[in-house]
Amino acid sequence: MERTSAPADVTRLEHVVVPGTFDPITYGHIDVIRRARHIAGRVTVAVAASLGKNGTGPTFTLDERVALARQALADEGVSEGVDVCPLTGLLVDFCHEVGAGAVVKGLRAMTDFEYELQQADLNYRLAPDVESIFVMSNPTYGYVSSSIVRELAGLGSDVSMLVPPCVGAKLVSHFGTHTA
């Protein structure tokens, strides 16, 4: 069978954005970022301000979360072709500013899908040129969430199996010592 070229209107994604609050960044987030890097040559991790998240705001400041994400990604060998930037406005506007053609989100469960589908539909209405791409969670990290990590760390538990060492150290300094 002879192979034909792709239609003229199909373009390869060169740059994608992986958005999130990353409060804090976890191994699950890093897995999604690593996989996004396999999809596109360039990835921008957009750390959202999320000032009203859960009615209280994030545990760490935007600057702390950006710095932690940069360090964790570098420590885990996921920094080539990956930038980390703060996000304070609309995601689709950010995508246009950085020249990204798609948003990549990880899905752990049906509840993630329902929420992310609503966001993708809204983003499509605001910017139909920005694609939404969903990757299913790696089963190893399907149960990992930043809120679980914060709750465990706040109760003094060791979270080293859920987050890189730099994040674990930041959690210990924020919440106090953990019990191993």
- φ and ψ at residue 90, rounded to 5 degrees: -75, 140
Domain 15-139: which CATH number of 1.10.3720.10, 3.40.50.620, 3.20.20.80, 3.40.50.300? 3.40.50.620
pLDDT higher than threshold 70 for residue 40 = yes
Average pLDDT over residues 129-145: 92
108 is catalytic: yes
pLDDT number for residue 71: 98
In one-letter notation, the amino acid at residue 20 is: G
CB contact at 8 A, 103 and 117:
no
Which helix (H) or strand (E) segment holds residue 34: the answer is helix 27-39
Summary mean pLDDT of the chain: 90
12 is catalytic: no
pLDDT band at 60 (very low <50, low <70, confident <90, very high): very high
Neighbours of 4 (CB within 10 A): 6
CB contact at 8 A, 129 and 101:
yes
User: How big is the CA angle at 131 (ends 129 and 138), to the nearest 5 degrees?
Assistant: 170
pLDDT number for residue 13: 86
Domain boundaries along the sequence of the chain: 15-139
- φ and ψ at residue 81, rounded to 5 degrees: 75, 10
What's the gap between Cα 113 and its chain centre?
15
Which residue, among 99, 136, 134, 109, has the nearest Cα to 119 in the 3D structure?
A: 134
Candidate list 37, 146, 150, 170, residue with the active-site label: 146
DSSP E strands in the chain: the ranges are 15-20, 42-48, 82-87, 102-107, 131-136
Candidate list 15, 34, 53, 96, residue with the active-site label: 53
As a whole-number percent, the residues of the chain with pLDDT over 90 amount to 77
pTM (2 d.p.):
0.89
Average pLDDT over residues 112-118: 90
pLDDT higher than threshold 60 for residue 32 = yes
Tokens of 64: 């702390």
Candidate list 15, 108, 174, 178, residue with the active-site label: 108
29 is catalytic: yes
pLDDT band at 179 (very low <50, low <70, confident <90, very high): very low
Which residue, among 95, 98, 82, 87, has the nearest Cα to 39 in the 3D structure?
A: 82
